[in-house]
Amino acid sequence: MEVCESRDVKGLYKKAREGIIKNFTGISDPYEAPEHAALDIRTDLLSLDQSVDFVIKKMIDDGILSDNSAPRVSNTLIETVTDEVRKEFENLKFIDVNVEQAEYIQTLNQGWAYPLNKFMDEIQLLEVLHMKTLTDSNGKKHLFSVPITQSVTKEEREALKDEKKVAIKCTAISQDVLAIIENPVFFDNRKEEISTRVFGVRSLKHPKVERIEQQGDYLISGSSMRFVAEIKFNDGLDQYRLTPQQVDD
């Protein structure tokens, strides 16, 4: 009671003791302590910050809150396929990407782009451009500010639009199929919007903007992507291109 009265900035306890306020808990009305309290915070002994920490820890321990400070280590998305399946992939129509795009594929297949697991579709691209976030399959938003897309020309779109699967190769580094786009879809490559929203300029003096302007007029995505090869650039740096799990270990 002494602690409650010392914190009474409105003077309610004083009025209760003077009889101005009737049936006041602890003064003119009994205080009924809970027999089995879910939480007992000694605010007379703890500071405000300590009390808050006490409540948050209890809620985390009881599963009411999740601890977002716990590290998340993404697993590699590269799968092992049989020789028969690999032969099937080798016979698919394919897009021959440049080395920069192969680096983006490696970013995806190693798990560094979590929760992204394919080239962005139009909705994902627009969310990244306008909100700087990417929503995962559980509805949780993650900070994400860099579009990861794959462009195609009008001719490539016409050649691939009826395919159920499209292979991705980078013949500049190997003849291997790196990934498979399943159920491909095509949409406009918003070059101006991507350049201005990501880099704040449209000038061709910006090297990335220049490369975006040289891309095809369409972007390709799909219902999913399968990553079927570990990419090696053979530039003396492959040993440093570690997966999240390897870094964590």
Percent of the chain with pLDDT over 70: 100
My answer on whether 52 and 93 are in the same domain is no
**Is residue 126 pLDDT above 90, yes or no?**
yes
Q: What is the pLDDT of residue 2?
A: 87
Quote the tokens at residue 6. 């010392």
Q: What are phi and psi of 84, to 5 degrees?
A: -65, -45
My answer on whether 234 and 164 are in the same domain is yes
Mean pLDDT of all residues in 13-18: 92
Domain assignment of residue 148, yes or no:
yes
My answer on whether 55 and 153 are in the same domain is no
My answer on whether 17 and 97 are in the same domain is no
My answer on whether 177 and 119 are in the same domain is yes
Domain assignment of residue 72, yes or no:
no
Dump pLDDT digits (tens) for 47-56: 999 999 999 9
Domain assignment of residue 74, yes or no:
no
Mean pLDDT of all residues in 50-78: 87
Q: What is the pLDDT of residue 60?
A: 87
Distance CA 102, CA 174 (A): 11
- Which of the pair, 218 or 32, is modelled with greater confidence? 218
Q: What is the pLDDT of residue 211?
A: 96
Domain assignment of residue 167, yes or no:
yes
Dump pLDDT digits (tens) for 176-195: 999 999 999 999 999 999 99
My answer on whether 108 and 172 are in the same domain is yes
Q: How confident is the model at residue 71 (pLDDT cuts 50, 70, 90)?
A: confident
Total of domains in the chain: 2
My answer on whether 150 and 120 are in the same domain is yes
My answer on whether 122 and 226 are in the same domain is yes
Average pLDDT, the chain: 94
Domain assignment of residue 78, yes or no:
no
My answer on whether 169 and 120 are in the same domain is yes
Q: What is the pLDDT of residue 248?
A: 85
Mean pLDDT of all residues in 58-65: 88
62-66, 78-82, 125-129, 177-181: range with lowest mean pLDDT: 62-66
Q: What is the pLDDT of residue 94?
A: 97
My answer on whether 121 and 220 are in the same domain is yes
My answer on whether 113 and 187 are in the same domain is yes
Dump pLDDT digits (tens) for 130-156: 999 999 999 999 999 999 999 999 999
What's the whole-model pTM score?
0.73
My answer on whether 42 and 110 are in the same domain is no
Domain assignment of residue 223, yes or no:
yes
Domain assignment of residue 71, yes or no:
no
Domain CATH for 210: 3.10.400.10
Which residues constitute the domain of residue 24? Answer: 2-61
Percent of the chain with pLDDT over 90: 82
Domain assignment of residue 190, yes or no:
yes
Domain endpoint, select from 31, 61, 91: 61
